[in-house]
Every structure is written in C-alpha cells, then in structure tokens.
Amino acid sequence: MTSTTTTDRAPAPARTRTTARPRRGRRRLGSDTAPRPGMLYVLPAALFFGMFAIVPLVLVVVLSFTSWPGFGDPQFVGLDNWQRLTGDQRVINATRTTLLLTVLGWATQTPVSIAIGVWASGPQRNRAVLSSIFFLPLLLSSAAIALMYHRYLDPNFGLAKDLGPLIGFPDGNILGTRHGALGVLVFVGMWQWIPFHSLLYQAAARVIPQMLYDAARIDGASRWDMFWRITIPQLRHTIVTSSVIMVVGSLITFETVLLLTAGGPGTATQVLPYLMYRSGFFEFQMGYASAVATVLVVLGTTVSLVIVRFSGFAKMRSTLEGL
C-alpha cells in the first residue's frame, strides 16, 4: 500500500459533482506541486511508538524463549515454552473462547450499531435527545462498568436475584454458569461499545448525500432497498474501521474479564489475555506468559491486516469519488 494514491483508473466521468472543485480539465488524481513534509514530522511519533511499543514487543518474543519468575535473570530454555503451548489444553480453550467472544461481539454489536447510528443521524429532534442518553456508557471506564455489573449480578443481593428468574436463571446464578458468564460478557460488551460504534455510524450516515436517496426514490426503491443498496455501501469504510476496532478490541478484552468473571466459572471464560496475565502474574511464569502474549499479538495483527487488506482501506479512496 502506498500513502499517495496514483490510480490507474480513467479520470472520473463527468456525472453531477457534489464537490465544488474548480474544473481544470482532466487531471490525474494525486499529483500536485505543493511541497511535501519531510520525515521529521513523523519522527517523534515513530520514536515514541518504537520505544514504548515496538521494543517491548520484541522483548516479549525474546522472553518467550526464557523461563523467568519475575525476578532475577531470565534463563534461556529454547523452545520449551512453545512446545508446552502447542499441547496445552488451556491455551486451546482460551483461543477458542476468545474467538467465540470476538465473533459474537461483532455479530451483536455491528448490526445494532449500524441501526442505531443510521436512525440517530436523522433530523428529528427526539433523536438528538436520545442520542445523548445513548452516549452515557462511554463515560464509564471499563473498570467501572465491570464493577457495576459485577454487583448487579450478585445472586443474593443484586439485580440478578430478582431479574434472573425472568431470563431462565431461577436462583440468580448467572455468572456461575458457562453460558451465563459468556452471555454476560457479550451483553456487557454490547452495552459498553455500541454507543461508540453507533457514533461512528451516525457521523458517517449524516454525510451520505441526500440526492442518492432522492434518485433512488424516484426510481421506486423501497426503504429496505435503499438501506441495503445505498446506506450500507456508503458506510463501507466506516464498517471496516469499526470492525477492525471492534475485533481487535474483543481480542484483547482483559479488564472486563478480570473484574467481572475472573476467567470463571472455573475456566469457562478464560480468554487469551487473561490466561497470559494469570500465567505471568499469578503463576509467575513470565516466559510462558510471553509465549501466550506472542500468540495473542500474532492473532490480532493477522486479523487486522486481513480486514484492512481485504477491504482496500489502505488505498484510501474516498467514498465520494466518482460522484
């Protein structure tokens, strides 16, 4: 991918333009004679990121080949940790749980976020008021939200006692069952993140040109058609951005699991980051934890690269091109 786009396409056909770009005849997109910023502009960010993110990342990979209880010197043990990891049922389970929660998270959050976002982008007054309320969960930290729900789910003194029976948990024992705990994590994820993603979609939906809808209505399209044929494609880039954020965020969800379920009941909700934390900081096997961490990083990186590459996001085309 390149940071400046020189496309091979023919210049845009002369349809109705919504931008007031002064016509200067046919132009190749991407060329202008303005001076370009040098690398000094990006140097601080690169250095900062390098020191606090890249270097530790390399160190983690190095540590994965050692055994280190957290004090003293790490001892090199070659591939021991990795051999153990490939056969470790806990890692396999944790990976499975992580992926499950990620997929469920995406499947529940994206449709609702799109729906709410598009709805909220409408001009009606009440929508603006309600949008303000929808924003409230974003004000709370992960820790606060996890603690709040943790209390609500107490089977004897929380909301779970009275509301549990209504959803099939007669003794309020929601967090104590595997399905209940997973369901809670999915629900809290929705509660916590849909406000953010719906904001993205709301902002994006707002700038979809009205004339697209007008033209479609003239052609006799139904609301359903318009949604699927206009709204969704126009939201394409937002869907990608939102999905990358969502998927990566799900993969690394840690605080919520730590404070809400502590990986339980038993090991039912042990996700990879939690397993990493537990092996490192509870079992004091930092080398092994580093191996798990490496797996997590590889997983997250692969997923985000795939999404980005697959969607052509990196080419940075504007959705307004061609209009």
296 is a site residue for other proteins (CB under 8 A): yes
Q: Cβ 87 to other proteins, closest distance in Å?
A: 11
User: Judged by CB under 8 A, which of 10, 32, 78, 218 binds other proteins?
Assistant: 32
Q: Which residues contact 293 (CB under 8 A, 6 or more apart)?
A: 60, 64, 276, 280
How far apart (Å, rounded) are the C-alpha atoms in residues 21 and 29?
12
Task: Classify the C-alpha dihedral 144-290-84-296 as positive or negative.
Answer: positive
Give the chain's radius of gyration (CA, Å). Answer: 24
Which residues in 225-244 contact other proteins (CB under 8 A)? Answer: 235, 237-238, 241-242, 244
300 is a site residue for other proteins (CB under 8 A): yes
- Distance of alpha carbon 254 from its chain centroid, rounded? 13
Looking at beta carbons only, is 79 or 211 nearer to other proteins? Answer: 211
Task: Choose the stretch contacting other proteins; rule: CB under 8 A; options: 76-84, 93-101, 102-110, 273-281.
Answer: 273-281
What value, to the nearest 5°, has the Cα angle with vertex 269 and ends 144 and 198?
50
If binding means CB under 8 A, how many residues of this protein chain bind other proteins? 160
Q: Cβ 11 to other proteins, closest distance in Å?
A: 14
Which residues in 37-96 contact other proteins (CB under 8 A)? Answer: 37-39, 41-46, 48-57, 59-60, 63, 69-72
Which residues in 4-23 contact other proteins (CB under 8 A)? Answer: 4, 14, 16-23
How far apart (Å, rounded) are the C-alpha atoms in residues 235 and 230?
9
Q: In 3-state terms, what secondary structure has residue 66?
A: strand
Q: Cβ 20 to other proteins, closest distance in Å?
A: 4
Task: Choose the stretch contacting other proteins; rule: CB under 8 A; options: 76-84, 96-104, 255-263.
Answer: 255-263
User: Judged by CB under 8 A, which of 9, 179, 223, 229 binds other proteins?
Assistant: 223
Q: Which long-range contacts (CB under 8 A, 24 or more apart) does 309-315 make?
A: 311/236, 311/237, 311/240, 313/237, 313/240, 313/241, 314/1, 315/1, 315/2, 315/5
Task: Choose the stretch contacting other proteins; rule: CB under 8 A; options: 78-86, 99-107, 300-308.
Answer: 300-308
Q: Cβ 49 to other proteins, closest distance in Å?
A: 5
How far apart (Å, rounded) are the C-alpha atoms in residues 319 and 323?
9
Q: Which residues contact 137 (CB under 8 A, 6 or more apart)?
A: 145, 191, 192, 195
Structure tokens at 52: 């606090």
How far apart (Å, rounded) are the C-alpha atoms in residues 201 and 102?
20
Q: Cβ 265 to other proteins, closest distance in Å?
A: 5
Which residues in 161-220 contact other proteins (CB under 8 A)? Answer: 161-163, 171-177, 191, 194-195, 199-204, 206-211, 213
271 is a site residue for other proteins (CB under 8 A): no
Q: Cβ 147 to other proteins, closest distance in Å?
A: 6
Looking at beta carbons only, is 51 or 79 nearer to other proteins? Answer: 51
